[in-house]
Amino acid sequence: MDHNRSWRCMTRGEILSPVLLMGVNEFVEACTRTREFFGGGLAYAAMMQVHEADPTNFEVLLALGASHRSEMGLSRKLVGDLNFLDSTPFAKLLDLCVRWKSVVGVRHMHARITKSQFSSEIFILNRLIDAYGKCGCLEDARKVFDHMPQRNTFSWNAILSALAKPGCLDEALNMFNLMPQPDQCSWNAMVSGFAQHGRFQEALSFFVGMHRVNFVLNEYSFGSALSACAGLTDLNLGVQIHALMSKSRYSSDVYMGSALVDMYSKCGVVASAQRAFDGMTARNIVSWNSLITCFEQNGPVEKALEVFVRMMSSGIEPDEVTLASVVSACASLSAIREGLQIHARVMKQDKFRNDLVLNNAFVDMYAKCRKVKEARRFFDRMPRRDVVSETSMVSGYARVASVKEARLMFSTMMERNVVSWNALIAGYTQNGENEEGVKLFLLLKRESIWPTHYTFGNLLNACANLADLKLGRQAHSHILKHGFWFKSGDESDIFVGNSLIDMYMKCGLVEEGCLVFEHMMERDNVSWNAMIVGYAQNGYGIEALEIFKKMLVSGERPDHVTMIGVLSACSHAGLVDEGRHYFHSMRIELGLAPLKDHYTCMVDLLGRAGCLDDAIKLIEEMPMHPDSIVWGSLLGACKVHRNISLGKYVAEKLIEIDPLNSGPYVLLSNMYAELGRWKDVGRIRKQMRQRGVIKQPGCSWIEIQSRMNVFMVKDKRHHRRKDIYLVLKILTEQMKQAGYVPEVDEEETCEEESDPELNLHCEMEMPVEVALG
């Protein structure tokens, strides 16, 4: 074809022949290639010639029109110049406009239809409503519907779908209630609309209503209903829908099978999700993704990786959803080797490199695997980042105790949400910087960020670690104002109640902790453990065992932490026989193998009761190597019961484990001092100096009028030290008059005897707090 020749000079036959000889697709492609020379004119001329030769051959016209997408050009000339025998061409042109999302095109068609003989035809007006709805022009769709002289069921369904899909559900509901005769499509539109926009309960109500009036349920009905059950985690109704679906012809449909796997997954029933997957005769990428996500979110997480390998072996290529779920599973398992393999695979495929969700998953994976440098390198190379990417880096830095870097990343974030704040607060509290965590919470409140249950969980942990009762009570009042009821669900807040119990127990307010426990709407294993351990730590051994018995009656299964609390309670209450019973019943009755912490509790129990031979025998029978905590517990008991020979043996064991720890030296020295063996005391002190062992000075603190006062042994820096030592001197004299004889400790041999203030502090360290309090 001569490109230099104008299409206007070509005859009808010259234009029409290539269309008929080459075929529509080839001619359209030729028109598209030569568009720079003909400006769409050849396509238009061909359309006119085709229409003149055969007015019914609109498929050719539509294909030719598709080669030129000018909304204001060819389509306008086409509609203005052609005379259609019926409204079908208008309907197909409207479909073309919908495909291109051309609002201008739809409105142009509307204007042409209004001027044609089809202006009152129900069929084309229904298609016009549908086109306006799919292009997002709800007002235009509603105007067409309102001005229709006559309507049928399709008219109602068209406006119903137009309203339901973008989320105008209340208006759609009013329209549905006005319908003379809703049909299957009407009901499905409502079920689907409510399900897609998170109004799951109403979606299920329409599904049940549809079934009640005996409309046939199809794949759209079942799919939307299962999605709603997944959103509500309504397993009971989901199982009923599954049973109903199994009786229909859709039971083997691949999309229904995928929806079932997803529903059981979100309801946390992994076994049922696996059975639904295994029962599928055909599977697609959605089916595999649903099962992988099920294991990744519900566990066992390693099964997600196994399913991924099976999927690859079956010839299904993963998409970005698959890879993001598998990378998240690697993050949960700290499976860095598998994560690196997936990273290498992604780097070979350009289509995945810029996927933000997948890239965020990689940053999170490296951070959770404690590979912060790698996470940062990946983060820096990301073409696009968002608040999720930056929050993952904040969490990663906090995880490896790089709180300064976490704070720096947080301060440079362009956008922050409450998750970002929670990540940094958690970083401070988990790394022992509780004061900074509290300050950050106060800053969060000043910036009007709405805290979540995770925020309060971290804050209460900080308050518990600081024993800050005042701030803990303020946090409790905030929790009540935010409406937390301590119950399970999509956003379970039971752990907030558990943190409250822990905070009150660590602050010594046992009754307050009990009140929180009693008023919790639901309790879990941690709730019971917090009460048992709290009672034990505060010396309420009998009460701790009573709570343990109630826990067993409630059906809650004890775990290793529970038994640590029970054994500690027996130790504090001196219940040796009960402690022996619970220790030996762990394996037999509860199926729990005792861990090192349980042996430590038993050694402490036997040591407190003076059963030192039984304690050393138990240590020798331990299936694991005893650590410094076990030996330290026994050494403390040797000091209390003045068993110097065993104490020397235990101290030597401790020194072998940690030669620079001053604890065993000091305890052994004090034991010799109590027996008046001063040469041995001097020998121990000499060993400490020769080995470079330094005793860390004691430290205490108290908050008065919102100001923290910190004291060290021999501390003379406090601005009110003279007043403090004066009160301390008075108290010491009164105590001596009452018959108090101070214990002999290592400070009695201090050389600073010329300083009366230091001598006072040598005799007694802790009364400083009493004096200030």
The Cα 50–Cα 64 span in angstroms is 10
340 CB burial (10 A radius; 0-12, 13-18, 19+): middle
What pLDDT is stored for residue 271 in this prediction?
95
Cα–Cα distance, 79 to 757 (Å, whole number): 104
Taking a C-beta distance cutoff of 8 angstroms, is the pair 161, 130 a contact?
yes
Q: Which pLDDT band holds residue 100 (cuts at 50, 70, 90)?
A: confident
Residues 123, 87 contacting (CB under 8 angstroms): yes
| 218 within 8 A of 255, measured Cβ to Cβ | no
Tokens linked to 573: 């209450």
Report the percent of the chain where pLDDT is more than 70.
84
Side chain identity at residue 511, one-letter code: E
Report whether pLDDT(616) > 50.
Answer: yes
Q: What pLDDT was estimated at residue 411?
A: 92
pLDDT, position 65 = 47
Q: What confidence tier does 557 reach under pLDDT thresholds 50, 70, 90?
A: very high
Q: What share of the chain is helix, strand, coil (3-state, %, to 5)?
A: 70, 0, 30
Q: What average pLDDT does the structure give for the chain?
A: 83
Question: Residue 709, SS3?
Answer: strand
- pLDDT of the residue at 639: 86
* Of the listed ranges 347-351, 406-410, 481-485, the one predicted with least confidence: 481-485
8 Å CB contact between 496 and 522: no
Residues 6+ apart with CB under 8 A from 23: none
**Residue 275 burial (CB count, 10 A):** 13
pLDDT of residue 64: 42
Report the pLDDT value the prediction gives residue 483, as an integer from 0 to 100: 77
Tell me the mean pLDDT in the region 230-245. Answer: 94
Tokens of 239: 């199982």
Please give the model's pTM, rounded to 2 decimal places: 0.69
pLDDT-derived band at 556 (thresholds 50, 70, 90) equals very high
Amino acid (one-letter) located at 368: K
pLDDT, residue 83, reads 61
Residue 590 clears pLDDT 50, i.e. is over it = yes
Determine the residue type at 272: S
Residue 542 has pLDDT above 70, yes or no: yes
- Band (760; pLDDT cuts 50, 70, 90): very low
Beta bridge partners of 712: 699
- Domains in the chain (CATH in brackets) are 183-282 (1.25.40), 283-381 (1.25.40), 386-435 (no CATH), 617-696 (1.25.40.10), 699-772 (no CATH)
**Number of other CB atoms surrounding residue 458 within 10 Å:** 27
Place 386 in a pLDDT band, splitting at 50, 70 and 90: very high
Percent of the chain at pLDDT > 90 equals 54
Phi, psi angles (nearest 5°) of residue 743: -65, 145
Give all strands (DSSP E) within 193-265, no chain letters: none
More confident residue, 471 or 771: 471
Side-chain-side CA neighbours of 465 within 13 Å: the count stands at 18
pLDDT of residue 763 exceeding 60: no
**Residue 411: Cβ within 10 Å count:** 9
Please tell me the distance from the alpha carbon of residue 207 to that of residue 199, in angstroms, as a whole number.
13
Q: SS in 3 state form for 271-337?
A: HHHHHHHHCCCCCCHHHHHHHHHHHHHHCCCHHHHHHHHHHHHCCCCCCHHHHHHHHHHHHHHCCHH
| Residue 489 pLDDT | 61
- pLDDT of 502 reads 93
Q: Which residues contact 530 (CB under 8 A, 6 or more apart)?
A: 498, 501, 502, 505, 513, 517
List of residues 6+ apart from 84 with CB closer than 8 A: 55, 58, 90, 116
Is 70 exceeded by the pLDDT of residue 226? yes
Please state the rounded mean pLDDT for residues 656-668: 83
**What is the per-residue pLDDT for 124?**
93
Q: What is the pLDDT of residues 492-530, one digit of tens each?
A: 778 889 999 999 999 999 999 999 999 988 899 999 999
pLDDT confidence tier of residue 50, bands split at 50, 70 and 90: very low
Query: Is the pLDDT reported for residue 602 higher than 80?
Result: yes
For 161-202, the pLDDT digits (tens) are 999 999 999 999 999 999 999 999 999 999 999 999 999 999
Rg over CA atoms, the chain: 39
Nearest Cα residue to 367 out of 390, 392, 342 = 392
Where b means 16+ CB within 10 Å and e means fewer, 312-335 reads: eeeebebbbbbbbbbbbbbbbbeb
Work out the number of other CB atoms within 10 angstroms of the CB of residue 742.
Answer: 12
Contact criterion met (CB below 8 Å) for 397 and 409:
yes
Q: What is the pLDDT of residue 486?
A: 75
Lowest average pLDDT, out of 64-73, 247-256, 579-588, goes to: 64-73
Question: Residue 525: in which H helix or E strand, if any?
Answer: helix 525-537
Cα angle value 745/749/753 (rounded, 5°)? 120
Specify which residues 707 forms β-bridges with.
704
**What are the backbone dihedrals phi and psi of residue 426, each rounded to the nearest 5 degrees, phi first?**
-60, -40
Taking a C-beta distance cutoff of 8 angstroms, is the pair 420, 387 a contact?
yes
Confidence band for 491, pLDDT divided at 50, 70 and 90: low
**pLDDT reported for residue 98:** 86
The pLDDT of residue 26: 52
Among 17-21, 330-334, 443-447, top mean pLDDT goes to 330-334
> What is the rounded CA–CA span in Å between residue 501 and residue 4?
88
Residue 434: pLDDT over 70: yes
DSSP H stretches of helix in 612-695: 612-620, 628-640, 644-657, 662-674, 678-690
